[in-house]
Amino acid sequence: MKSPDSGAAQRPRHAAHPHGAAVLKRLNRISGQVRGVTGMVEEGRYCVDILTQIAAIQSALDAVAMQLLEHHTHGCVQSAIRSGHGDQAIGELMEVVKRFAR
Amino acid sequence: MKSPDSGAAQRPRHAAHPHGAAVLKRLNRISGQVRGVTGMVEEGRYCVDILTQIAAIQSALDAVAMQLLEHHTHGCVQSAIRSGHGDQAIGELMEVVKRFAR
Amino acid sequence: MKSPDSGAAQRPRHAAHPHGAAVLKRLNRISGQVRGVTGMVEEGRYCVDILTQIAAIQSALDAVAMQLLEHHTHGCVQSAIRSGHGDQAIGELMEVVKRFAR
Amino acid sequence: MKSPDSGAAQRPRHAAHPHGAAVLKRLNRISGQVRGVTGMVEEGRYCVDILTQIAAIQSALDAVAMQLLEHHTHGCVQSAIRSGHGDQAIGELMEVVKRFAR
């Protein structure tokens, strides 16, 4: 884990993500789901049931990613455009959208 | 999580998944990645960096799902077909494939 | 496109796909949708509306792919397993499933 | 071509899409690929080969969608933000991004 004064200082940083509590709650649930799948594999549970759980984790990750993406676009991207750095912020946004596109 | 002697006895079960060790290793790494993302949100790290990490978790889950799917098809589905229960096993397989299709 | 008497003779071939009529109907509808999108671009229509139509084509292609995949698994893969060539047919099936997984 | 008095007048419209020629070229190629798949089904070609072609069409559609999305974000979304209608344009953008996310 990086300490708050570590080297990534040139990256934008938020004192706290406005939606941080909701995002952390979702991530904690996802952590529990991953532990659940680990237990299913250890117990030798049926593959199809394990796969169904993995698909549920993917959906939960998609939802948290879309929440963060929406927050980022309304916040950072909009500010960047207003202060004249729009093209760079949009280029970066498109790179990350492509990671989540099929 | 269900205890090993719980009621899901009618579901096929493996004493141990042949690829269990490899799958568990991948799942442990994924658990660590989810904890890493939680830390990034707590520290207020840049959204784009968090999203990039979430996309990496998605790819890791896809890989583990494809490994399980391949194992399941070579094992359970092939046995079911040989013993004349192919259509049911294939129906179930297709349901789970659809969950991972776009 | 290959002519019917071309060299791909070593590939399995069906006199007619059992679900051929349904698949062809879906493909004709998809062709129409692609022409529709071409028209929208020529007319300078709003990008978001064009993107919504492209997403609809993707869904239609997913549906036709899942229909063909299901048909292939019940037919060719099941026959191959019964005649002892299961592992090869399953390997090939998994390759194609991965193309449709995210 | 729609007549000038048609109903969609309230939607933004471009005299010509700046990337229109490139997009149309890609769409024409996609039309040809869909016709190719239709021919393969009619000829009773091997399912796996047909599925591989459908996956190629999906990739081509993804690429054209990402090109349009990028163009839309640099253009319409950026203009909307500069003229104070950012939140609405971003909401609409996120809706369309979600359609292409897994």
pLDDT in tens, C19-55: 689 999 999 999 999 999 999 999 999 999 999 999 9
CA distance B6 to chain A (A): 11
| CA-based nearest residue to C47, from D100, A57, B23 | D100
| CA-based nearest residue to A101, from D69, D3, B14 | D69
Q: Per mean pLDDT, which range of A87-96, C9-18, D68-77, D81-90 is the poorest? A: C9-18
| CA-based nearest residue to D67, from D12, D21, D35, D33 | D21
What is the distance between the alpha carbons of residues A21 and C1, in angstroms, rounded to a whole number? Answer: 56
Identify the contact set of chain D against chain A, taking CB-CB distances under 8 A: 58, 62, 65-66, 69-70, 73-74, 77-78, 81-82, 86-87, 90, 93-94, 97-98, 100-102
pLDDT at C61 over 70: yes
* Token pair listed for A10: 């040139």
Identify the contact set of chain A against chain D, taking CB-CB distances under 8 A: 58, 62, 65-66, 69-70, 73-74, 77-78, 81-82, 86-87, 90, 93-94, 97-98, 100-102
Q: What is the pLDDT of residues C68-101, one digit of tens each?
A: 999 999 999 999 999 999 999 999 999 999 999 8
What is the distance between the alpha carbons of residues C91 and C54, in angstroms, rounded to a whole number? Answer: 31
* Token pair listed for B63: 């890989």
pLDDT at D46: 95
Instruction: Say whether C102 sits in a helix, a strand or coil.
Output: coil
Own/partner pairs, A32-41, CB within 8 angstroms, 24+ separation: A33/A57, A33/A60, A34/B27, A34/B30, A34/B31, A34/B34, A35/B31, A36/B1, A37/B27, A38/B24, A38/B27, A38/B28, A38/B31, A39/B1, A40/B1, A41/B17, A41/B20, A41/B23, A41/B24, A41/B27
pLDDT at A10: 56
Partners of C102 on chain A (C-beta within 8 Å) are: 58, 102
pLDDT at B85 over 90: yes
The CA-atom distances, in angstroms, between B52 and each of A66, B77, B83, B91 are 12, 36, 46, 35
pLDDT at A102: 73
Partners of B95 on chain A (C-beta within 8 Å) are: 48
Give the residue from chain A lying closest to D60, CA to CA.
Answer: A102
The CA-atom distances, in angstroms, between C45 and each of B34, C51, D7 are 42, 10, 13
Q: What is the ipTM of this complex?
A: 0.85
Q: What is the pLDDT of residues A16-42, one digit of tens each?
A: 565 689 999 999 999 999 999 999 999
Q: What is the pLDDT of residues D26-37, one digit of tens each?
A: 999 999 999 999
Partners of C65 on chain B (C-beta within 8 Å) are: 101
Q: What is the pLDDT of residues B35-70, one digit of tens each?
A: 999 999 999 999 999 999 999 999 999 999 999 999
